[in-house]
């Protein structure tokens, strides 16, 4: 809470309001390296690797397909074959706002309805295809490094995925986003 703009935990009216609390402007300095990436979220990297034959690893013994994750679009999924992925788990204590990891232009947002299983370690180790079964929003960006997807996966308790990008995208063909 020392990093929160509003440090009074009792003033948050909902759990979601607490999850998406604003942070003090100086608490997350971001590298200015134009060739670098920044983490899009606070949290724990639970998996990272290469997308091989369209598959991503969820947990030991479980994988899921990029096509399923991206709402069934096989052409879009093929764009990411042999690319890299990182899964970042946000626990209840983590700040739940996301930021662009690099400069890019938002070209598409895909809402994929689904379940709202918990996404904690115990669940990801036991529920096959968890991230491709939960509700999610797939944000597709053009970047100087190529096409990038930032997939926001819903979970139990929070029960919502909200972006400011959706409103802005409805008013223009594309939105230019830059890493903070």
In-domain check, residue 29: no
For residue 172, report the phi and psi dihedrals to the nearest 5 degrees: -155, 165
Which range has the worst mean pLDDT, 122-136, 144-158, 166-180? 166-180
In-domain check, residue 68: yes
Alpha-helix residue ranges (DSSP H) falling in the chain:
15-19, 66-69, 74-79, 121-124, 130-133, 165-169
pLDDT of residue 158: 65
pLDDT, average across residues 138-147 = 92
In-domain check, residue 28: no
Number of domains in the chain: 1
pLDDT, average across residues 44-71 = 92
In-domain check, residue 156: yes
pLDDT of residue 36: 67
In-domain check, residue 33: no
Comparing 125 with 176, the larger pLDDT belongs to: 125
In-domain check, residue 34: no
In-domain check, residue 73: yes
In-domain check, residue 4: no
Which structural domain range is residue 157 located in? 9-23+40-177
């Amino acid at each position: 809470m020392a990093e929160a703009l509003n440090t009074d935990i009792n003033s948050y009216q909902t759990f979601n309001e607490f999850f998406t609390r604003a942070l003090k402007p100086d608490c997350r300095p971001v590298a200015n390296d134009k060739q670098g990436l920044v983490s899009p979220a606070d949290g724990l990297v639970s998996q990272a690797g290469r997308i091989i034959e369209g598959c991503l690893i969820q947990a030991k013994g479980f994988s899921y397909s990029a096509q399923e994750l991206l709402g069934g679009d096989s052409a879009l999924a093929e764009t990411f074959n042999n690319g890299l992925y990182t899964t970042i788990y946000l626990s209840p204590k983590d700040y739940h706002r996301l930021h662009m990891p690099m400069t890019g232009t938002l070209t598409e947002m895909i809402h994929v309805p689904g379940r709202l299983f918990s996404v904690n370690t115990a669940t990801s180790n036991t529920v096959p295809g968890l991230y491709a079964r939960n509700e999610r929003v797939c944000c597709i960006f053009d970047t100087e490094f190529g096409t990038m997807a930032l997939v926001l996966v819903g979970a139990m308790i929070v029960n919502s995925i909200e972006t400011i990008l959706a409103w802005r995208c409805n008013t223009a063909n594309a939105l230019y986003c830059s890493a903070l």
